[in-house]
Amino acid sequence: MRIVHAVGWYFPEALGGTEVYVAALARRLRCAGHEVLIAAPDARLETPRTYEHDGVPVYRYPVPDCPTRAEAQGLIAARGAERLHAWLTARRPDVVHFHSFGTGLGLFEVRAAKAARARIVVTTHSSRLGFICQRGTLMRWGESLCDGVSEPAKCAACDLQHRGLPRPLARAIGAIPPGLARLARSAPGRWATALSMSDLIARNRAAQQELLALVDRFVVLTRWALDAVAANGAPAAKLACNPLGLGQTAIARKPGPRERPTAPPVRVGYLGRFESLKGVADLARATASLPGDVAISVEFRGPTSRAEPRCLEQTRAYVERDRRMRMAPAVAWTEVCDVLAGYDVLCCPSRCLEGGPTVAIEAHAVGTPVIGARVGGLAELIADGVNGRLVEPGDWRALARVLAEIARDPARSIDRWRAALPRARTMDDVAADYLTIYAA
């Protein structure tokens, strides 16, 4: 088969989890004897460029650095995306597999793939679940897990609060009927965007319905997401769940608790971006709140160049006040497992519904248990109190209690969890499942 993977960003300038996932999947599909190509927009380009990454041809096409509102909202095709349409027509792939949507990669491009007579698979890696969650977190008001059902008034109010409006005002504007809100769609300015928000949600719902009509399979990463997409009207025959897998091979597992029991101070690690949705500041705040006699050390590692300034500033402020915390440079992908093996516990305090994160699966593979938020893939990977702990997203006080617990009695917490870690799912498993989906 000739398989095209379409993704919103790609190597070498993008190093996120989706890019790593696509590269690992492409590598395995090539080993299985299939022709694999990558297509991704690039706002820095004026003309298309091609190159190879990890032996796979990559096609990059230009899109606007500053898209118009109509382009950003998918009302019109983004300038430059017609290059991808023509490229798909010329290549005539058997399968086009979409992994993300954004400027220059949306419904217009799905239609172009359909016109090229390709089978279409969409895997939703983000909390948007296609076009369901405009806020992009599936957290109602940013505080608790949403029911996942898209409704204009409800979702418009939630996104407007995320954009800075007080909740009562967000509710009032979100309640404007979509037909009336549509009148503000073409007006300039931020208030026009706010006033037309319920219309945008209604159009998102229509886009999700069209997307499900066009695709052959719509793939999610968690069982919760599968239920949420179905609750929005997706036909069960087109849905599939293919959980994340471990990309590395031949990972060495560190000695178990009998050979090397956990000793104080307990070493806790955070590996990820400095973004509010990752909950990194919650971990720093929880640690800073612990009494001084709690024997714990917490290390934060992630790329600061792409950090949210406010989140990075908050985290640094807590770290600088407590010697038990430190910030270290980002970890190269090839060194992640070695770093994880050096921690007693990995902490993933997410504030959004993630399919993973992959780093939690990597931690289990090397023998390091995880403390995570009770949401998304973490809630399905961690058995609370059996092989790790779960806390409600954003509840830094609950997280502080767990940190105090593991620091004061690692034998009855961490070492018990280490003995019960599950087998890590691999990208070989993921690729095998995709080949079945492509063939079907």
The number of distinct structural domains making up the chain is: 2
Q: Look at residues 424, 416, 423 and name the one whose alpha carbon lies nearest to residue 245.
A: 424
In a domain, 94, yes or no: yes
Within-domain flag for 346: yes
Are 345 and 368 within 8 A, CB to CB?
A: yes
Average pLDDT over every residue of 321-339: 93
Answer yes or no: pTM beyond 0.85.
Answer: yes
Question: What is the dihedral angle through the alpha carbons of 389, 394, 398, 401, rounded to the nearest 10 degrees?
Answer: 80
Domain boundaries, position 45: 2-123+215-245+428-439
* 133 found inside a domain: no
- The pLDDT of residue 249 is above 80: no
Confidence tier at 242 by pLDDT (50, 70, 90): very high
Rounded Cα–Cα distance for residues 425 and 364 (Å): 10
Q: Which of 257-266, 299-308, 359-368 has the lowest mean pLDDT?
A: 299-308
Do 285 and 353 lie in one domain? The reply is yes
Distance CA 383, CA 369 (A): 11
Same domain? For 355 and 289 the reply is yes
Q: Give residue 395's pLDDT.
A: 96
CATH code of the domain covering residue 414: 3.40.50.2000
pLDDT the model gives residue 432: 97
The answer to whether 392 and 414 are in contact (CB under 8 A) is no
% of the chain with per-residue pLDDT over 70: 100
Say if 377 falls within a structural domain.
yes
Same domain, 284 and 393: yes
d(CA 418, CA 388): 8
Give me the amino acid identity at 137: T
The answer to the question of residue 61 being in a domain is yes
Q: How many whole angstroms from its chain centre is CA 335? A: 21
Quick one: which of 28, 5, 9, 21 has its CA closest to 333? 21
**Apex CA 425: angle with CA 94 and CA 395, to 5°?**
110
Domain assignment present for residue 256? The answer is no
pLDDT at 424: 85
Give CA 360 to chain center in angstroms.
13
For residue 373, what is the DSSP state?
Answer: E
Grouping H, G, I as helix, E, B as strand and the rest as coil, residue 294 is coil
Residues 6+ positions from 123 with CB-CB distance below 8 Å: 97, 98, 99, 219, 220, 221, 242
